[in-house]
Amino acid sequence: MCGIVAYIGRREASPILLEGLKRMEYRGYDSAGMAVLDGDLRVGRAVGRVAALEEVLEREGGFEGTLGIAHTRWATHGGVTEANAHPHRDDGRLGHGIAVIHNGIIENHATLKRYLVEKGHVFTSETDTEVLAHLIGELYRGDLEKAVQSALREVTGAYAIAVVCEKEPDVLVAARKGSPLMIGVGKDEYIVASDSSAIVAHTTQAITLDDYTVARLDRESFRTTNVDNDPVSAEIRELEYDLGQIDLGSYEHYMLKEIHEQPEALRLCMKGRVDLRSGQIVLGGINQFARDLARAKRVIFIGQGTALHAGMVAEYLMEDLAKIPTDVEFASEFRYRNPIVEEGTVVVAISQSGETADTLAALQEAKQRGAMAIGLVNVVGSSISRETDAGVYLRVGPEIGVASTKAFLGQVCVATMLAAFTGRRRFLAAEAVRDLMERMSEVPGHIERILEQSDAIRDATARYVERDNWLFLGRGYNYPVALEGALKLKEISYIHAEGMPAAEMKHGPIALIDEGMPVVFLATRNSQYDKVLSNIEEVRSRGGHVIAVATEGDEEIRDRVHEVFWVPDVPEPLQPLLTVVPLQLLAYHAALMRGRDVDKPRNLAKSVTVE
């Protein structure tokens, strides 16, 4: 949600800021802005992508200066207008020349604004961030760091901010609570950013700020304090990220690149964790808690969006393989419904970014109620990973496309290992674990075969892409995949799609089916195959056109459906790792055919760091 980047050093700030914004554009892309200090504070803002901001800067003859802040926005408070774009300034009457960029939400902005208006402040935007800028200005007494600390003491909500002040041309102040913020540490320079993608081109040394930390940076040094000005320690660590991982290479879109990276991503995810000879699963991050996990009375998976769908697969896995009663919940609902967390409850948060606000808050709530907290997270050092008692990183590499693809596979793969690991410590035979892991190690090769069908999937998609309503149906392990297929299609092509258990169709949604309506069935050979075939007949007899994802060699299904995408035969618990892949490709091709911006679909942002 919103990307922020700031620079203080000896180089020109604006090219570094622009490059950082481009790398973080996936975090939000409604509007963008930049402020650079060179004697005066120069501010440029534009509605639209970073490219629009670039044009504004060019028109203004470029911004020179070695201290600056920049922002790419995903609107929360106030529409998508230039006036609402960041940076926001304090009240000009005061003459401080303060500018702020912000990611998060200032929840008490209305109260603060009333107070400031009474003091004569005049606001020019509808944003909560402008309130913060004015508050800092109001409290400024010649020391920016102190003014920021004082302002943050008054603020409730979430923030990652960077602040500059005309009167202090050698100081950059940054602070964080509830929204991610890192400081890249270079030689005589610092780059502050919402994520490492804006930093790695310049340095691999970085500090991940903790909540409630305020950092004051000049060109040679920095210090970190809390909002009461007490010193706070900050650890510099090496970023595990290289630029190659976040470049598009020869692909047209990140989504396509990431779909194609899935075989390798899964290999990396399993590497060193699965010993095929002994059939042992080694999950270093949770070893210490293996006994607690095996004795758990209940496991609850929480997440949002695609991560929730992975959690639904995990629910089946945990009950099947470890025989522990398991639930899965939207983190957003779990948090607010006064959940019962009894002794022996383990809460597992699933998240690619590790920054999803609802998932983080639900995890904190569960911990407070006494649950053991485990994280299945991709981004190393992210908020969720730091909040958990134990965890397993996905290790699928950075995911930039807004539509999650390889992270889903990583989440399901880790959940499979986690369930088998736990099951082994309960009733699951060593043989069963070895067999399952052996079959899972073949999955990357299977995915490579599925990817070869991309053109066939594109051609089939073309026959239905004009249809505005689609259904996705599956049973058992394939039910979450139906939800995921529908989510992929709607989020990047804007085609309305619904996913549901195939049996549920008869309880209402069947009324939607008319001549030619595309209905995607997950119809692989498994325990529910015959039931799915019956559901296919029900759809066909009402005129629906069936697109099936089926098991290679299944001649029986070929004549019963209009289109079929093939996946190799694997045991039922592993089927989601394969059946989702044709649906990712279907969504990708549909979005392209409809002329959509695949990597930056409208209204979305990669990680949702506001509740």
Residues of this chain that interact with ligand M6R (CB under 6 A) are 304-307, 351-353, 356, 359, 402-404, 487, 491, 607-608
Task: Please report how close the Cβ of residue 84 comes to ligand M6R at its closest, in angstroms.
Answer: 23
Question: Which is closer to ligand M6R, CB of 97 or CB of 410?
Answer: 410
What is the nearest approach in angstroms of ligand M6R to the Cβ of residue 226?
A: 27
Show the beta-strand stretches assigned E in 197-255. Answer: 205-208, 213-217, 222-225, 236-238
- Residue whose Cβ sits closest to ligand M6R: 305
Distance of CA 344 to the CA centre of its chain: 29
Concatenated DSSP letters for 398-435? ---SSS--HHHHHHHHHHHHHHHHHHHTTT--HHHHHH
Phi-psi region of 97 (alpha: psi -120 to 50; beta: other; left: phi over 0): left
3-class DSSP assignment, residue 190 = strand
Active-site residue flag, 606? yes
* HEC-encoded secondary structure of 57-113: HHHCCCCCCCEEEEEEECCCCCCCCCCCCCCEECCHHHCCCEEEEEEEEECCHHHHH
Concatenating the DSSP letter of every residue in 312-343 gives: HHHHHHIIIII---EEEEEHHHHHHS-----T
3-state secondary structure of 164: strand
Q: CB of residue 592 vs ligand M6R: minimum separation in angstroms?
A: 16
Q: Which of 3, 437, 391, 9 is nearest to 188 (CA)?
A: 9
CB of 387 to ligand M6R, least distance (A): 13
Question: Out of 2, 165, 269, 413, which one is annotated catalytic?
Answer: 2
Burial pattern 248-257, b for ≥16 Cβ within 10 A else e, equals: eeeeebbbbb
Calpha distance 85→74 (Å, rounded): 9
Task: Indicate the residue among 150 and 404 with the shorter CB distance to ligand M6R.
Answer: 404
**Residue 487 Cβ vs ligand M6R, minimum distance, rounded to whole Å:** 6
Nearest to 200 by CA among 248, 160, 255, 244: 244
Residue (349 or 428) nearer to ligand M6R, CB: 349
The enclosing H or E element of 267 equals helix 262-270
| Chain centroid to CA 362 | 16
Which of 1/532 has CB closer to ligand M6R? 1
What is the spatial distance between Cα 400 and Cα 256, in angstroms, rounded to a whole number?
Answer: 11
- 3-class DSSP string for 41-65: EEEEEEECCHHHHHHHHHHCCCCCC
Question: Which residue number, 42 or 606, has a Cβ lying nearer to ligand M6R?
Answer: 606
Q: Which CB atom, from 269 or from 608, has the smaller least distance to ligand M6R?
A: 608
Q: How far is the CB of 26 from ligand M6R (least distance, A)?
A: 10
Concatenate the DSSP letters of all residues of 464-498 into one string. TTT-SEEEEEE-TTHHHHHHHHHHHHHHHH--EEE
Task: Decide: 415 and 373 in contact? Cβ < 8 Å.
Answer: no
Q: Which is nearer to ligand M6R, 500 or 564 (CB)?
A: 500
Instruction: Report the side by side order of strands in the sheet with 98-106.
Output: 88-89, 98-106, 157-165, 172-177, 213-217, 222-225
Q: Are 27 and 607 in contact (CB under 8 A)?
A: yes
Nearest to ligand M6R of 305, 397 (CB atom): 305
CB under 8 Å to 562, separation ≥6 — which residues?
Answer: 545, 546, 547
Active site residue 2: yes
Q: Which of 113, 257, 406, 606 is catalytic?
A: 606
Nearest to ligand M6R of 34, 402 (CB atom)? 402
Active-site residues, by number, are: 2, 606
